[in-house]
Amino acid sequence: MVMKTPFCTYFGISSCFVTSLGRRDFSRSALSSRRGAALLIALCAVVLLTGVVLAFFSQASLNRQISASSTQYSRADFFARSAAEDILGEMRREIIESSDEYRGDPSSPNPDYPPV
């Protein structure tokens, strides 16, 4: 005796029948279409997962490059400010030393330099 079961109608399989021995009998076309659908779903999941992983690594690489660029910019800025402070300090020191050296009466001759 062959009859259609609620299992078959619930899952939308039109060619599923329970035989008199109690086994479910699936036709080849129903099984192959379900296997094909499962394969397609698995491939889509793998493609999506690969895309997410590639996006993550791309973002991580970009963040690393931005961080390295920011560090290099900070180092260059620090070096430039340090060099400017050194130059200004040297100029101030020279101005102060030269002003101390030549104080006195401007009309008197400088003993360090004989007149020409």
Tens digits of residue pLDDT in 80-95: 999 999 999 999 998 8
Q: Which is higher by pLDDT, 79 or 3?
A: 79
Rounded Cα–Cα distance for residues 15 and 33 (Å): 12
- C-alpha neighbours within 13 Å on the C-beta side of residue 94: 6
Least confident of 25-29, 33-37, 45-49, 89-93: 25-29
108 Rama sector, left if φ>0, alpha if ψ -120 to 50, beta otherwise: beta
The pLDDT, as a whole number, for residue 97 is 81
Q: DSSP code of 60?
A: H
47's tokens: 């493609």
Average pLDDT over residues 20-36: 64
Q: Which is higher by pLDDT, 32 or 80?
A: 80
